[in-house]
A and B are shown apart, each in its own frame.
Chain A
Amino acid sequence: MKELTVISGKGGTGKTSITAALATLASDAVICDCDVDAANLHLLLSPKVNNKAEFYGMKKALINQDECTQCGQCVELCNFDAISDYTVNSMACEGCQLCHHACPSGAVEMVDHLAGHWYISETQCGPFVHAKLGIAEGNSGLLVAEVRKAARRLAEEGNKSIIITDGPPGIGCPVISSLADTNMALVVTEPTISAIHDLERIVKVAKNFGCYIAVCINKYNLNEENSRYIEGISRKLNIPIVGRVSYDPVMHEAIVRNMPVTLVPKGKVHDEIKTLWAQVQKILL
């Protein structure tokens, strides 16, 4: 069983649209959405939720007002500015427990904290694992790990050949969690100066994980000069370009219709995405 993780560095390059399209082409895949901060893949795959599970993040501090003598020590010690008026702002609290240990009256308790939910669903493309993190919750790396673990279990139980994962944007903690131990990172980029700038950063991150890295240029005809520039960078970094997908209004139309683009009739990009999938399969399987 192989794992393909689709990432982008910069947001809005079409990562989720491409992931959904690949999901429709794979015949025995488990689909997984690791963009738990702002999940979107479910909007294209219309999942039927079979199972919903709670996700608890790190325990957070809670000050017991009956015990608190308002000495102010916790306020002074907290490096996250999470305590004011002898009350913990759970959005800022990182759960380090310093206040809990330091409080001279033992007034600070560490309490469980429901940070989000994750789901196992059924879609026309196969089983789908996705999640929703609560507002302003940290620790999304841990939820990403949880989601990936469930996807692996489903893949093993169902004897599937591939897990296709929509990764989070950026280069931080959740991306690191989504890349660990994956077989292939597919970087979806676009020929804009911003995306080019982010491409080199995300490739550096992915290289740390020893997975196979390949690039797909989405909207490649938006600026052909920039697309050639991306080709140059990829050569320099020794990373193959496995797909070129046109700038085509049908991509937008597919999102508006809540469908993977491959299921919208007469999409000009269908053949380009099929070629991409063939290349990915050649590398992975």
Chain B
Amino acid sequence: MRISIASGKGGTGKTLVATNLALSISDQPVHLLDCDVEEPNAHVFLQGDHIDQQVVHLPIPKVNQAKCQQCSKCSDVCVFNAIALFDKIILTFDDLCHSCGACWHLCPHNAIEKIDKEIGAIDKTKVDNITLITGKLKIGNHASPPLIKKVKGQCNDGGINILDGPPGSSCPAMEAVEGTDYCVMVTEPTPFGLNDLRLAVDMVTALGVPCGVVINRDGPGNVGVLDYCREKGIKLLMQIPMDDRIAKSYAKGTPLVKEEPAYRDKFNQLYQVILGEV
């Protein structure tokens, strides 16, 4: 089973929920996949034994000058301007390339080869019952979705997979949620939280993934999120109170369920509720 954790807004507690949920499941092996490849953070809370690292590549073009006839086809078809013919010289610009393959597929002289370009890495560590898979985008790269796809390839379909996604509701966030069985949306009861929750709900709805909401930093104040969930018929899965102790344990990088064991039952309950929903 695949459970994705999403939030329209950053900093609502997505990683808090993902890591503590993973730590509260004991009946099955858990794969926690950190798909927030621009800023992966789950490993801060789950420091285990490193078992594997895999470098992730994408194909980019390399022109075989001996075969090239300077016909300019590649230069004409590349909408990203990543390959261009000037006079008699073909230049390639790796950081503009989207690896679409138009140049090598369409070259009439078979003069373009594919070579590998490193876009990031996937680390695998083990902590108790949890296998943590972390995707980390190489700085200077902006292609998160292909790396997220590779991270998702590490799912263990015999057990529970928790996918901690990036914030927002654009391509990378979508890539993380797509194809999961259930999406847990983490929000906070503020106008920011509600605004971004709306966007995230629209996104998961477009993807056809069922979802429920966890309200983090719950307390007196804004009831907009509750009204919205009621109106949209979205299940409220859990409310985590506004509590200095939670903020402090998070700041230290200690998992909440280790610092405050009472939360283990609460997160296990969340797990049971999700099982009931799927």
A and B touch in the complex (CB under 8 A): yes
Binding site for B on A (CB under 8 A): 8-13, 16, 37-38, 40, 43, 58, 77, 79-80, 91, 94-98, 101-102, 133, 135-138, 140-141, 169-173, 176, 190-194, 197-198, 201, 204-205, 208, 222-223, 226, 247, 252-253, 255-256, 258
**Nearest CB of B to A77, in Å:** 6
Q: How far is the CA of A256 from the CA of B106 in the complex (A)?
A: 55
- When distances are taken between beta carbons in the complex, the residues of chain B under 8 Å from A80 are 100
- Give 23 A-B contacts (CB < 8 Å), ordered by A residue: A8-B10, A10-B11, A11-B9, A12-B10, A12-B11, A40-B9, A79-B101, A98-B100, A136-B169, A136-B207, A169-B10, A170-B10, A171-B137, A172-B172, A190-B251, A193-B44, A194-B253, A197-B41, A204-B139, A222-B251, A226-B252, A256-B222, A258-B191
Give the segment of B64-72, B86-94, B194-202, B231-239 that binds chain A: B194-202
Binding site for A on B (CB under 8 A): 8-12, 15, 38-39, 41, 44, 77, 79-80, 98-102, 105-106, 137, 139-140, 142, 144, 166-174, 190-192, 195-196, 199, 202-203, 206-207, 217, 221-222, 242, 247-248, 250-253
Contact A94 B39 (CB under 8 A): no
Contact B105 A77 (CB under 8 A): yes
- A-B Cβ contacts below 8 A, count: 156
Known: A136-B173, A136-B203. 17 other contacts (CB 8 A): A10-B10, A91-B206, A94-B98, A98-B101, A136-B207, A138-B170, A170-B10, A171-B38, A171-B39, A172-B38, A172-B144, A192-B251, A193-B251, A193-B252, A198-B41, A208-B140, A255-B191
Q: Is the interface of A mostly helix, strand, loop or mixed?
A: loop
* Cβ-neighbour of A173 out of B80, B142, B199 (below 8 A): B142
Q: How far is the CA of A38 from the CA of B7 in the complex (A)?
A: 10
Which of A80, A136, A137, A192 gathers the greatest number of chain B CB atoms within 10 Å? Answer: A136
Across the A-B interface, the 5 shortest Cβ-Cβ residue pairs: A12-B11, A11-B10, A193-B253, A96-B100, A173-B142
